[in-house]
A and B are shown apart, each in its own frame.
Chain A
Amino acid sequence: MTAFITFLYYLMVAFFAVCFIWNFRRSKNWQSEVLYLIVLLPFLLRLFRLK
């Protein structure tokens, strides 16, 4: 059960990481672009099991 919940959390992290990348691509405001990338960083570090 614990492993399944962990798996769901990783799916959630992946989903939000894709959302941030998508929004970064669509954005035309440089401040928003920087913000999306800053927020994306911890999501990718967790997804790649680095931090």
Chain B
Amino acid sequence: MKNQLIMRKAIFTAAFLLVFIFSGLSFYRSRHLKEPVVAGDGLLEVRKLSHYFPGLKGSLNDASVYILGKGDAGSEGGAALVLGGSHAEEPAGRLAAWLLVENARLEKGRLFVILTANPSASTSTRPGGAYPPDYEIPTPWGRQKFRQGDRWSNPLDQWPDPEVYIHYPSRQQLAYMDIRNQNRTWPGRPDGTMTEKTCYAMTQLIIKEQIDLVIDLHEAELQYPVISTIVAHQKGEDLAALASMMISGEEGFNIGVEYSPVALRGLSHREIGDHTQAIPLLLETPEPFLDATRGRTDRALLLTGKDEFVMKAGRHGLLFEKLDENGWPIDVRVGRHLSSIIQIFKVWTELHPERPIQMENVPRYAEVISAGTGYYLKNPDQAPAGRLFYE
């Protein structure tokens, strides 16, 4: 009887260790996956966020800042900052930023790009969400793998959460987990949590580099009303409205404009506008992967945006954006972001000829849909010396 008991516990322990080792390896690999970036000819320099706020040095969130320009010749123009991966589970934002760094050339002005604005959030997936750990984009030279990520910073880097998150400096009470949500912790503070410090570093970057425009790239579930839109601070209302008209007229898709609510604190489109000289705009594309009524949460859903259950919700009038059997493929979502950025820069330059931002060689909506996102990703094995970086 005693031997039986020992044998049973040994079997259970062995099974437990097997599960622990395999799951642990999977989580470890996902957290430490290196994503290659082959910077294009337009790259001037890569800095770390700690350059602007040393308090972030040594932290996982000491993100890379890719600075694109034309050297001294272009430094007289304006300056823009594009943020990908504020919410890492919204891949179109990160991929659009990736294509900017790998392809864009600045004729006038400077472009600052942060591919992973919250690196910690890119190293975990949502508990209970059944997210895949990563996804792959097909390219002419193979497949490039990216981390899936989550909306919130990884609890391994910032834990525990408070009972109620009190936003600084407004003292507005927000949901407890949003203390790890990078789009609820702007403008940040130097002695706050890691996520708040990251926002503080980016706020310092915006002030010190005299950034004119901040474009924060996001995706949204179709059951959320703020979708397929530009969310603009009141300083950028004209710019957003004009850009929306230009996009609808020239790029082949419609995008709306929403105004940033004054009473909702912590968001980039509110706090950057209130605390710095820059005009913040937040872009949303549709991502059915995020919808609560989705079916199987796999890589296919992430990349094709096809889901019969979300479609059924649409038939019941529960969606704020259309969804048919074509889904919302990643190329459509990346293309929307890129064309929106191109048109925003164009309108900005027309409105502010003394601070021009002129960008070339970035694929537009129709081109990304036609050739695919991966067509514009460069082969890290053939990267010129000094141009290969890792996120």
**Contact residues in A for B235 (Cβ distance below 8 Å):** none
Known: A9-B159, A28-B5. A50 touches B12 (CB 8 A): no
Q: State which residues 61-77 of B face A: CB under 8 Å.
A: none
Nearest chain A CB to B178 CB, angstrom units: 16
Does B296 have its Cβ within 8 Å of any Cβ on chain A?
no
B47 to chain A, nearest CB (A): 26
Specify which chain B residues have a CB less than 8 angstroms from the CB of A48 in the assembled complex. 24
Q: In the complex, how many angstroms separate the beta carbon of B3 from the nearest chain A beta carbon?
A: 14
Q: Is the CB of B23 within 8 A of A45?
A: yes
B263 close to A (CB within 8 Å): no
Given contacts A41-B16, A41-B19, contact A50 B27 (CB under 8 A): yes
Question: For the complex, what is the distance from the CA of A44 to the CA of B155, rounded to whole Å?
Answer: 14
| CB <8 Å contact, A41 and B5 | no
Residue B20 CB within 8 A of the other chain = yes
Chain B residues proximal to chain A, CB less than 8 Å:
5, 8-9, 12-13, 15-16, 19-20, 23-24, 27-28, 31, 124, 155-156, 159-160, 193
A residues 35-51 in Cβ contact with B at 8 Å: 37, 40-41, 44-46, 48-51
Q: Per a CB cutoff under 8 Å, which of B5, B16, B28, B160 touches A37?
A: B16
A19 in contact (CB, < 8 A): no
Interface of B is mostly: helix
Which residues of the other chain, A, contact B8 by a CB distance below 8 angstroms?
30, 33
* A50 nearest CB across to chain B (Å): 5
Q: Residue A11 at the B interface, CB < 8 A?
A: no
Q: A44-B20, A45-B24 are in contact. Are A34 and B12 (CB under 8 A)?
A: yes
* Given A5-B160, A51-B27, residue A40 in contact with residue B5 (CB < 8 A): no
| Bound Cα distance A50, B16 (Å) | 16
Kindly list the 6 A-B residue pairs having the minimum CB-CB distance in the complex, ordered from nearest. Answer: A50-B24, A37-B16, A51-B27, A50-B27, A9-B160, A49-B156
**In the complex, what distance in Å separates the CA atom of A40 from the CA atom of B19?**
12
The chain B residue with its CB closest to the CB of A30 is B8
Partner of B159, one of A6, A33, A50: A6
Contacts of A34 in B (CB 8 A): 12
